[in-house]
Structure 1
Amino acid sequence: MCNDYRLLIDIASIAEDFEGLKIKIGMPEGAPNVPAREDIRMTDMAPIVRRSEAGSGIDELLNRRWSWPGRNGKPVYNFRTEGREFTSSRCLILADGFYEFTDPADSKQKRLDKWLFTMADHDWFCIAGIWRESPMGEAFTMLTMDAGPDIAPYHHRQIIPLARDQWADWLDPGVPAKKVLRWLPQGSLPVTQVYGAPPAQGALL
């Protein structure tokens, strides 16, 4: 399950893309300080976009913590969608790639194989998430579902990258979750092999 993702695109380019899609975003806490990062891991701060609670019609681009503490103390970095409607606290998690890990193809290799998934039709994308208050402050998690055709060879579940025409719908709690949370067409998420440390253990809800 995804506990490591990437964001190399600068915030100015991201803001321009939202403007092009007629999604108005503000930065009420100032422009997030987001250095290019090959690896964003649970408990790191990272940028999200969420609906403004003030009802201004302008969505908020903020830096927030990835994962909140679960009941067992482990970080909740992924959250199952099955049987849930998500009628509030939706957010978009900004990324240009995410990683999955598999047993090494080479039996002599001690590290897990690391695979990078990107979006075929654009240089960055949004992942469906939710946010909440926590003892650590406001935090977000990635939503998950059974794996689609691009991810299934690597893991039985997946996070949910969204097509660009789904971003505004996910921010709108009036749009049913089941209309937004679905697999992308096969071939949408090209994959390349990289190498890295084994994924840490966290909590899945």
Structure 2
Amino acid sequence: MCSQFQVKLPLHVVEASFSHTRFPLRFPAGRPNIEPRDEVTIGDSAAVVTLGEDGPEMAPLPFAWKGPNRRPVFNFRSDGRRFDGSRRCLVPASGFFEFTDPQPGQKRKTRWLFTLQGEEWFWMAGIVRDGAFALLTTEPGEDVAPYHNRQVVVLPPDLGPDWLGLTRPEDALLRPLAAGSLTVERAFPPLEPTLL
């Protein structure tokens, strides 16, 4: 499951994704400084977008809330659920990571970076509880299935506002993307450079 993601994008790019809506992105806690981050992991704060009284607003929230057993809830299964009464959020990212068994000779798990084909960034659909956010998951698409049996819900930049504003049916958004939509590269261990 996705416990780490990457954020390498300027704020104005995120703002532009709301330019086709009637409501511009607001910053009630002040404009955040979205520094490039190679990884955001459980417990870290990240800038997320929620729907406020006057439209979409961005503020930092911690990644994962504490479940009844005190363990962090960082992924939340979307299959068979309705989110009408939930506080929805959008998490901007430039990539997310999945892990598989270690490569031969390695002790640490192999880490794979997934990015959206043809885009420098995307949204991950999430929900907010107890002042923190978790990422929604769905069945894996063909791009993720060889690496994991679940995947986060990835939305292209133009579809993010639809998740917040309920302008499309949930089942049209909370599903994997078509095959070939995500690119994958091994992030650890790093690939050896090839000699010409």
TM-score relative to the length of structure 2? 0.90
- Identity level (%): 39
Name the SS of the counterpart of 2:15 in structure 1.
helix
Counterpart amino acid of residue 190 in structure 1? T
Where in structure 2 are the equivalents of 1:102-117 lying within 5 Å? 102-106=100-104, 108-117=105-114
Q: 1:18 to 1:174 in 2, by over 3 A?
A: closer
Counterpart amino acid of residue 143 in structure 2? D
Select between 152-161 and 7-16 the one with higher mean Cα deviation: 7-16
Q: Deviations over 1:120-148 (max 9, x none)?
A: 1210110010112x2xxx11100011111
* TM-fit CA distance, 1:178: 1.2
Counterpart amino acid of residue 127 in structure 2? I
Where in structure 2 are the equivalents of 1:2-41 lying within 5 Å? 2-19=2-19, 24-41=24-41
1:191 aligned to 2:184?
Answer: yes
User: Residue 155 of structure 1: which of 123, 126, 148 is its match?
Assistant: 148
2:124 matched to which residue of 1? 127
Q: Which runs of 4+ in 1 moved over 2 A?
A: 16-23, 163-166, 173-176
* TM-fit CA distance, 1:62: 1.1
Q: 1:179 to 1:74 in 2, by over 3 A?
A: same
Query: Structure 2: which 5+ runs fail to align?
Result: 190-196
Counterpart amino acid of residue 92 in structure 1? L
Distance 1:8 1:113 in 2: 22
Query: Structure 1: which 5+ runs fail to align?
Result: 197-205
Number of residue equivalences: 188
Distance 2:47 2:121 in 1: 13
1:203 matched to which residue of 2? none
Counterpart amino acid of residue 182 in structure 1? R
* TM-fit CA distance, 1:113: 0.6
Counterpart amino acid of residue 118 in structure 1? T
**Are 2:10 and 2:34, in contact at CA under 8 Å, matched by a contact in 1?**
yes
Counterpart amino acid of residue 101 in structure 1? F
Counterpart amino acid of residue 80 in structure 2? G
Where in structure 2 are the equivalents of 1:42-81 lying within 5 Å? 42-52=42-52, 54=53, 56=54, 58-81=55-78
Counterpart amino acid of residue 11 in structure 2? I
